[in-house]
Amino acid sequence: MDVTSATNERTMIAAPGLRVPYGNSAPLFATRQPNLALCTILSSFIFDFMARFRCGGLHLNYFVVDETALPQLDDSQIEQLTAIGRRLIGNHNLFTIDDTNLAIQQQIKVALTEHERLRWTAIQNVVVAMLYGLEPDDIKWIFKQCDLAVDSLRSNDYTRTLPPKGFWRTQRTNPPSERVTVLTQIAFEKCWSMGGTCDDRLSGFLNQNGGEGWQIPEEIDLGEYGLGDGSGGRVAVRSRFGPRYFGWQESQSVEESWRECHLHARNLLGPSGYASLLSELRSPGTSDPGPQSPHPDGLSAAVPSVPPASEPPANGPTASVSGQSAKKPAGMAESFDPDTFTLSNVPVPKKRKKR
């Protein structure tokens, strides 16, 4: 985003681009590598720290971003950044074909809850910091004064004495132990303690806890990390953010998720439209429509069959799901957008009566 300020909570805001027009305030960057890896870097505090010190007005000009250094990455590091980006961005239906479907295929649970989004944001910043070659003292400098007490940050007289371009504004109404800026410092200390090369540290950091990566600690004493004013002692942290996943994320398998996607597509498009969609997705040059089923409609045998297209029900197109009928609302037309792979019902415009 071009319109910004170095004294805002964040200066650099980046997201994957869609096939839609953009104005001059939202410049585009074309990449040869997957754009999620670049977005993961650009949206980190590390890149933001460099960009905001070169932002003097209300615009983050193209030449500032273009001249700001990016780390040199190999293929495995690009994959790590892309996987992190999928978890943080793949929850939006606008990125269905690029992110959510890939996340399902690779059995990645996207970060939807506050707990998981905070955890993966901290992991994102640790990984980017390691790829830039930063050390613990560098991280403390970037996030200095982010561990101040809430009462101190409520005083305008006191905040006027703080660095105007610092990240102390981020989540300043939260207790220090519940801020992403503080948890990033704690996570970086954990990563740095792994020892070895950068790849060794990242491998240990991302694969700990049974391959799930770094977890928010149950309790934190900020004084152990040289943070805070030393008066808080140990406080509970992980329980403050609730569960990591919603119930449906834990109870639904990859196959069940795909079966549900097929059911929704069949109900929205009808038998003939659904068959055309499957044919289009399986044609050369299109994305993988998901795990293949021995049944031609992509559904399991437990799902009732759909009436053939030549014999539609008398009351309009319907599809049977677990014995229940789902009718298409009257006055709605079926449509399919191949560019963004979104299924939608577009209202049919009504003719106006002449008076």
pLDDT at 35: 81
pLDDT band at 259 (very low <50, low <70, confident <90, very high): confident
Please check the confidence at residue 79 and state whether its pLDDT lies above 70.
Answer: yes
Reference 266, options 253, 255, 275, 279; nearest CA is 275
**Every domain of the chain and the residues it spans:** 35-248, 254-310+318-343
In tens, the pLDDT along 288-332 reads 445 444 343 433 333 333 334 444 444 443 333 333 333 434 443
Rounded average pLDDT over 269-275: 89
Reference 98, options 1, 22, 16, 28; nearest CA is 16
pLDDT band at 203 (very low <50, low <70, confident <90, very high): very high
pLDDT at 221: 93
pLDDT at 284: 64
CB-based contact 131:71 (threshold 8 Å) = yes
Determine the Cα–Cα distance for residues 221 and 177; give it in Å rounded to an integer.
8
Please check the confidence at residue 179 and state whether its pLDDT lies above 50.
Answer: yes
Least confident of 23-37, 107-121, 324-338, 341-355: 324-338
pLDDT at 354: 61
Question: How many residues are there in the chain?
Answer: 355
Rounded average pLDDT over 164-174: 93
The mean predicted confidence, pLDDT, of the chain is 77
Please check the confidence at residue 11 and state whether its pLDDT lies above 80.
Answer: yes
pLDDT at 67: 85
Answer yes or no: pTM beyond 0.85: no
pLDDT above 90 covers what percent of the chain?
Answer: 40
Determine the Cα–Cα distance for residues 214 and 193; give it in Å rounded to an integer.
13
CA distances from 133 to 120, 129, 301 (A): 20, 6, 53
CB-based contact 192:135 (threshold 8 Å) = yes
